[in-house]
Amino acid sequence: MTRPGIRRAALLVTGLTAVSTLFGFVRDVVIAAVFGAGAELDAYLVAQGLMNIVLGLIAYAMARAAIPVTSREAAEEKDGCRGHPGFNTALTVTMIVLGVGGVVMSIFVGPVTAVIAPGFDGAQAETTESLTRIVLIATVLIAGTDLLASLSQSHGRVVWSALQGVPFNIIMIGAAGLFGPTYGIAALAVGFVVGSAARLLLQLPPLFSLGTRVRPQLDLRDPGFREMARLMPPMLVGSAIGNINTLVDRAVGSTLEEGAITALSYGWRLVNLPETLIIASLLVPLYPALSASSTNIAEVRRLVGRGLAVAVSVLTPLCVVMIIAAEPLAEVAFGRGAFSGDDITSTATALAWYTPALLALGCRQVVVSTSYALGDARAPVVVSVIAMVINVVGDIMLAPIMGIAGIALATTASLGFAALANGWLLHSRHRGLDLLPTVALVARALGLAVVAGAAGVLVRAAVEDQSAIVVSGAVALAVLGVYLVGLVLLRAPERLLALDMVKSVVRRGQRG
């Protein structure tokens, strides 16, 4: 694929991912309205975590490992797709491992639940076990989806894989809204399986159009499969770290009040939403440029500085708004139906303590992507392992003292460490980060955050009696306005960068 083609594909994927993310947010809103933040929804979320133990064994890592091999094979094809024997073996091995893993997990789901959710009582534990047995069916469906999507992407077909979240979320919305009131939380588990099947079916059209023949095969000596197997370990570590963090968060959350796991999950969704919709879109032009400039370290430093300036300038005032207006934002997002006032308060607590992690995520995304572009995949993995330990220890130490806030704070601390450590390693190992301009950027952002935050607090006090949406909007206008004026008065170099990045995205989209 040519560089302009890569840019167009990146823009397309970003746009379709944003659409899927919005559908996912609507799904969460509907689920919250039907079930509230209580024992049943906590049980469902833990069941999903148990399923991810099986899924994380091989599926995600195998899909990632398959892309370099199948992409190279696709580039060598002259007369259409001749098939990919190594991929066929990888798919077959994955299905066997996940099938066996699912059966074993179903047999031992009781003891595993007792370990993963030690705070659940008899009835809630039984609900978790029954839901787990249902959602385990989806493991082979999700694994097949990920692998088939990776094969399509290797041939430059990205639309169908980027769209897979749309039918899944629509089905989940229907399962919650139409069947949830009658059949209870089991409707969500069944909807999860049906939605996963829809995601899988959506990966078939591009393979049919390519003429790609996927068939069962078990040739463990195939060179392509052996290369995929060698690529798997670091990717498996990355997948396992994410699963372990989520599992520990939910295990510790199970020892708190009912609905704590749901509040944490929904608080994180509110943090993750702007990161996906805003930062991923603004930084799309950065990634192809980093890869193209990997041998020119001066240009890499310039691009990293530009990316960090965008992330810090956009996310800092947004974080201030989310902290000050956490409760009205939670009410606007989820405050309807069975989602009670106490549920809103718990979600707002999680949101407020999670929010600084948004800034860390944005900065980490820039520096880690740069490390990968420079061929350094080891350092980010090592940092992720240390960050995982910080999160686990923080959960265990802080949750008994601070409750929901403690678990959220542990996550924020681990992500903050990851952003700082990856930035330092990028500077010390590759000279890919200018330290002094970066420190100055962060110092300006923190100073302006204090001033803008004070304005936001005053405005919130003035409109406290208004509706949640009015309070949220007023705080946002005050904070963003003061922050922008501050950038202009300081003549900060980053004051026009976000606008430039948006214009760049629009121009590339028009050319595509």
Using one digit for the tens of pLDDT, what is the confidence trace for 417-476? 999 999 999 999 888 898 899 999 999 999 999 999 999 999 999 999 999 999 999 999
* C-alpha angle 50-52-53 in degrees, rounded to nearest 5: 70
Helix (H) / strand (E) containing 137: none
pLDDT at residue 512 is higher than 70: no
Reported confidence tier of residue 208, pLDDT bands at 50, 70, 90:
confident
The answer to whether the CB of 218 falls within 8 A of the CB of 92 is: yes
Count structural domains, the chain: 1
What type of residue sits at position 190? V
For residue 66, being part of any structural domain is answered with yes
Judge whether residue 2 has pLDDT over 50.
Answer: no
pLDDT of residue 55: 66
215 burial (CB, 10 Å; 0-12 / 13-18 / 19+) is exposed
Span 164-182, average pLDDT: 93
| The pair of three-digit structure tokens given for residue 313, joined into one six-digit string | 């300038």
Judged against a pLDDT cut of 70, whether residue 502 lies above it is answered with no
SS3 percent helix, strand, coil of the chain, rounded to 5, is: 85, 0, 15
The answer to whether residue 154 sits within a structural domain is: yes
Q: What is the mean pLDDT of residues 412-418?
A: 95
Between CA 450 and CA 96 the distance in angstroms is 55
| Cα–Cα dist 330/336, whole Å | 10
Q: Say if 374 falls within a structural domain.
A: no
Residue 51 is predicted with a pLDDT of 79
Q: How confident is the model at residue 394 (pLDDT cuts 50, 70, 90)?
A: very high
Q: Considering the domain boundaries, does residue 435 fall inside one? A: no
User: Under 8 Å CB-to-CB from 359, ≥6 apart: which residues?
Assistant: 311, 312, 315, 316, 319, 419
Residues 6+ away with beta carbon under 8 Å from 19: 166
* Side chain identity, residue 212: T
Pick from 139, 199, 211: which is nearest to 172 by CA?
199
| pLDDT cut 90: percent of the chain above it | 46
* 256 contacts 403 by C-beta, under 8 angstroms: yes
* Residue entry with tokens 């606007």: 332
Structural domain contains residue 47:
yes
**Residue 444: its pLDDT value, please?**
94
With 70 as the cut, is the pLDDT of residue 221 above it? yes
CA 129/CA 123 separation, integer angstroms: 10
Confirm whether 78 is domain-assigned: yes
* The predicted structure's pLDDT at residue 454: 97
Which of 240, 242, 266, 261 lies closest to 399, judged by CA? 261
Residues counted in the chain: 512
| Distance in angstroms between the alpha carbons of the first and the last residue of the chain | 14
pLDDT score, position 3: 47
Crossing angle of helices 39-55 and 138-154, in 10° steps, is: 50
Does residue 284 lie in a domain region? no
Residue linked to tokens 């798919």: 91
Give the pTM.
0.85
Residue 146 belongs to some domain of the structure: yes
Range(s) of the domain holding residue 154: 1-35+39-236
